[in-house]
Structure 1
Amino acid sequence: MTPTVASSPAISSDPALTHDLSPPPLGLAFRREFLSNSGHFLILKSLADIALYGWRGFVTDPTEYLLIGAMLLQTLYLSRPHPSRFWGNLMGVSLYTLIDLPVDGREFFESPSHGVFWLFSLAIALLQSSRYHWRPQWERWTLPLESVVRMLMVLLFYLVVRAGDQSSQLMNWQWLGQFADENTHFFLMTSLMLVGLLLGMHQLQIVRQQRQLQQTTVLLQNLAEWGLGSHAVMTAVNHPERLAFQQCDRAIVFMDIRGFTHWSEHTDTETVAATLNHYYQQVEPAVSQHHPLRITFTGDEIMAIYASPQQALAAAQAMQQAAAPVLQPHHIGAGCGIHYGTVVEGLFGGDSVRTYTVIGDVVNTAKRLESATPAGEITISDAVYQALHQRVAVKQSHNLNLKGKTEPLTVWRVA
């Protein structure tokens, strides 16, 4: 085979379709957690304290600043990847209790706002633990219920403010009954619960759409990597201008099975297919571990593009080690050739089909080096040998007459 521009799909170094996307930056995750969860406790309790004690009492109370610090620590913890939602949601209220209890003493337990704070912290901790850890399949129930609970938190803090200094009334069922009997309060309670339910159902829809979008994104990313290679995909995302044609130095590795066509003619199709697939499965990880810019499979031929000759040689040696156990039982082997030099790199193709690859004399020469290499051997050009500062064990050098070349090419056989 003598193709110089490979067009078959490259195989991603991570072929799984279900791997997670990268987590959001810490700053974004912190803001998201504060605005959607931890900040609710801080804002409602602070507003309740301002309503009860006034702005002067709020800003001069050191425990209020301790609460801010505790809730920021909770937000920071819950912003990390895979936190414990149960203990994380209890972190703020626990730290606040440990710090404020010695200051307020017995009065700490007499404050209804503290009881509301603990009650709803525990409720949210249980609901989020169920949704994230214990029973993810219950999400359709726990997420709307969590939204309703948050609205009930608003209602209870309102009751705390309404009771004022007569906080004991919160435990008086007669007073609570009278409160609920008032038309305005009945409207407030039912409205909050219904709005919470609607917001929860809307949030559930958003979460499911985001999850579906993430799965689609992962699938499209993998399909793009299979077709273009991970290097091209990352370049398109981060530096799209670099997809234009550009000259750069690249090391090209070709590996081809010697006598594969003749062996295939005398072997049943199932064995050929199974052997070739096994060959790909063993060699591809060896290629990928040295960070190729592009991998291409064409029949029994493998082409890999590397940024440096060091990577290319290490990959070729690993490829030979991986291929030998697969091919030797069938009395066949693979030859490998490496050349290094300036190529033209970029997106090649028409309007409908394009591939990210390299072209140029370096590619053609690497292919011809591979064609002239016996099974189980690696041939490198003198350009590769010199780029490695001659620090590679070689058997011998000889001049090779290549098609299209006016002068013989000095090549080296790796020991």
Structure 2
Amino acid sequence: MRRLPSTTPLRSSLKQKLESSIHGSWATAFLSEFLGNSGHFLILKSLADIAIYGLINYLTDPTEYLLVGAMLIQTLYLSRSAPSRLLGNLIGVSLYTLIDFPVDGLEFFESPSHAVFWGFSLAIALLQSTRYHWNPNLEHWIVPLESVVRLLMIVVFYGVVRVGDQVSQLAQLESLQTFLGDHAHLFLSGSLVLVGLLLGFQQLQIITQRRQLQGTAGVLRNLAEWGMGSHAVATAVVNPEGLAFQQCDRAILFMDIRGFTVWCEQTNTESIATALNCYYQQVEPAVSRYHPLRITFTGDEIMAIYTTPEQAVAAAQAMQAVAIDLLRPYNMGAGCAVHYGPVVEGLFGGDNVRTYTVIGDVVNTAKRLEGATPAGEISISDAVYQHFNQTIPVKQSRSLDLKGKAEPITSWLLA
């Protein structure tokens, strides 16, 4: 048998794009983290250093560029899925300290800007750890508080610029007292606290609405995939033109339970529903394992659309193996058939109801071929047999007069 060609990269790509449309891409997460968190430290400290030391000294100081790299590393880590918020928010300040401390020595800890950098990094790390990990129920309090802390960073860095970075600690304390005693500074601080609260409540509302929209989108996606298949849903989101009518070659698989109608006449409805649903649950993974474009359950019949005969035949063998064991206790079995050829695929239906499927003589022939297949067997059409260059193991050739076909159809029972 030919090696099964992989369609996984294409399907994975469509699925990733679909997930990105709902939850956002990695690039979106990186940009959101930088603009909403890590970039705040970098921007405010950089502006403070420019104000204190001057633009020329800032641009010629290698440690400033190392700070940029450290904060980008922090952003990269925090934009991952489920990072540690406590450790993540301390990456930038820790790397900066490790880099700058050998240069400044103990004077590093005497710098007010460094103390502010560490203080706010710790504050944000603790707040986000509480919100994301320790007690998510406190989010309604943490988000506004975190917003206030961020705006207070402006006031504190402003104070650092006013106090200076090279004066004594006593002078710094006196300058801080003078700063807090200024009515204009008190107004600025109070205004930023109130604005921080308002922005925090707005952010909380945005977070809540985004989660609700993502949850609703997830439910709708699942419902759509159950009804139309994951391939059609992903294509509709990523490339809607891909669902327009088009002619292409597809492998069509049908499997149907023999004796099911007679068994239903002798069985109560609840038992029928339970047994049929169990049958679907056991067989469906075998169908999905080989990446069908569409799976349809109709009564006791299963139809699957595949890109290649290799996928369809492998799926038929896996499905039949499950069905034989599952149906044996009921004295039943399933017949399965695969045909391959040109079909027209796309969205069929009216304005209110549409479904992704394929139509054409290949579909009809596959269904007729399945109806002529004994329980526990798999039939393949001659088109499938020739596709494998007659190398696929078979045990019998049959010439069938199928309903609706003018000429007999050659088929093969798989060994």
Question: Contact between 1:250 and 1:340, CA under 8 Å: does it hold in 2?
Answer: yes
Residue by residue over 1:19-64, the C-alpha shift from the partner in whole angstroms, topping out at 9 and shown as x without a partner, is x944643333222211111111111111111111111221222221
Q: In the alignment, what sits opposite 2:158? A: 158
Aligned residue number for residue 314 of structure 1: 314
Per the alignment, residue 336 of structure 2 pairs with 336
Q: How far apart are residue 326 of structure 1 and its match?
A: 1.9
Q: Give the corresponding residue for 2:236.
A: 236
Amino acid at match of 1:363: V
Code of the aligned partner of 1:218: G
Question: Is residue 138 of structure 2 the alignment partner of residue 107 of structure 1?
Answer: no
Structure 1 residue identity aligned to 2:187: F
Q: Which residue of 2 aligns with 1:253?
A: 253
Cα distance in 1 between the residues matched to 2:218 and 2:39: 31
- The aligned counterpart of 1:368 is 368
Once the two structures are superposed, residues 68-97 of structure 1 have per-residue CA deviations (whole angstroms, 9 ceiling, x without a partner) of 121121112222222211111100100110
Matches of 1:263 and 1:233, distance apart in 2: 36
Letter in 2 for 1:188: L
Residues 42 and 170 of structure 1, relative CA distance in 2, 3 Å threshold: farther
Moved more, 334-343 or 240-249: 240-249
Matches within 5 A, 1:131-150: 131-150=131-150
Q: Specify the alignment match of 2:351 in structure 1.
A: 351
The aligned runs of 1:7-406 (5 Å cut-off) are: 21-22=19-20, 24-164=24-164, 165-166=166-167, 168-169=169-170, 172=173, 176-406=176-406
The Cα shift of 1:257 comes to 0.5
The alpha carbon displacement at 1:132 in A equals 1.6
Q: How many aligned positions are there? A: 396
CA shift for structure 1 position 167? 5.2
8 A contact 1:334–1:377 mirrored in 2? yes
Q: 2:292 touches 2:304 (CA, 8 Å); kept in 1?
A: yes
Mapped to 2, the partners of 1:154 and 1:107 lie a distance apart of 24
SS at match of 2:54: helix
Q: Deviations over 1:183-217 (max 9, x none)?
A: 11110111111111111111111111111111111
Q: Which has the higher contact order (CA 8 A, sep 6+)?
A: 1
- TM superposition shift of 1:239: 2.3
CA distance in 1, matches of 2:210, 2:275: 41
**Gap regions ≥5 residues in structure 1:** 1-12, 14-19
Write the distance in 2 (CA, Å) between the matches of 1:120 and 1:181.
23
| Contact 1:147-1:196 within 8 A present in 2 as well | yes
Instruction: Name the CA shift for 1:246/1:170 in 2 (closer, same or farther; >3 Å).
Output: farther
Shift of residue 150, structure 1, vs aligned partner:
0.8
Cα separation, 2, equivalents of 1:277 and 1:26: 38
How many angstroms apart in 2 are the aligned matches of 1:104 and 1:247?
A: 71
Q: Which SS does the other structure have where 1:106 is aligned? A: helix
Contact in 2 for aligned 1:344/1:358 (Cα 8 Å): yes
Aligned partners of 2:163 and 2:175 also within 8 Å? no
Secondary structure of the equivalent of 1:397? Answer: strand
- On the 8 A contact 1:258/1:334 being kept in 2, the answer is yes
Give 1:297 deviation, angstroms: 0.5
Secondary structure of the 1:133 match is helix
Corresponding residue SS for 1:105:
helix
Judged with a 3 Å threshold, the aligned counterparts in structure 2 of structure 1 residues 170 and 290 are, in CA distance, closer, same or farther, namely farther
CA distance in 1: counterparts of 2:106 and 2:346, whole angstroms: 73
Structure 1 CA distance, aligned partners of 2:171 and 2:108?
A: 16
State whether residues 339 and 381 of structure 1, in contact with CA within 8 Å, keep that contact through their aligned partners in structure 2: yes
C-alpha contact (below 8 Å) 1:396/1:412 kept by paired residues: yes
CA pair 182-397 structure 1, distance change in 2 beyond 3 A: same
Q: Aligned partner of 1:205: which letter?
A: Q
TM-aligned CA deviation for residue 382 of structure 1: 0.6
- Scaled by the length of structure 2, the TM-score of the pair is 0.92
Residue 376 of structure 1, CA deviation: 0.7
Residue identity matched to 1:373: T
**Partner deviation per Cα, 1:223-281 (whole Å, 9 max, x = no partner):** 22122111111221222222221111111111111010101111222221111010000
1:267 and 1:322 mapped to 2: Cα distance? 23
Does the 8 Å CA contact 2:250/2:305 hold for their aligned counterparts? yes
Kindly provide the amino acid, as one letter, of the partner of residue 26 in structure 1. W
Check whether the contact 2:159–2:179 (CA below 8 A) recurs between aligned residues: no
Amino acid in the other structure paired with 2:265: E
SS in structure 2 opposite 1:335? strand
Contact 2:251–2:340 (8 Å) recurs in 1: yes
Q: CA deviation at 1:313?
A: 0.5
| Root mean square deviation of aligned Cα | 1.7
Shift of 1:169: 4.6
- Deviation, 1:339, is 0.9
Counterpart CA distance in 2 for 1:385 and 1:325 is 27
- For normalisation by structure 1, the TM-score amounts to 0.92
What one-letter code is carried by the residue in structure 2 that aligns with 1:141?
W
CA distance in 1, matches of 2:208, 2:66: 37
Q: CA deviation at 1:327?
A: 1.0
Q: What is the distance in 1 between the residues matched to 2:272 and 2:30? A: 54
Specify the code of the residue in structure 1 equivalent to 2:396. Answer: Q
* 1:55/1:175 CA distance change after superposition, 3 Å: closer
Partner Cα separation in structure 1 for residue 24 and residue 347 of structure 2? 30
Task: Tell me which residue corresponds to 2:14.
Answer: none
Q: Distance in 2 between matches of 1:288 and 1:136?
A: 37
**Is the 2:400–2:411 contact (alpha carbons within 8 Å) kept by the matching residues of 1?**
yes
- The answer (yes or no) to whether the contact 1:160–1:170 under 8 Å persists in 2 is no
C-alpha displacement of 1:374: 1.1
8 Å Cα contact 1:400/1:410 also seen in 2: yes
Letter in 1 for 2:322: A
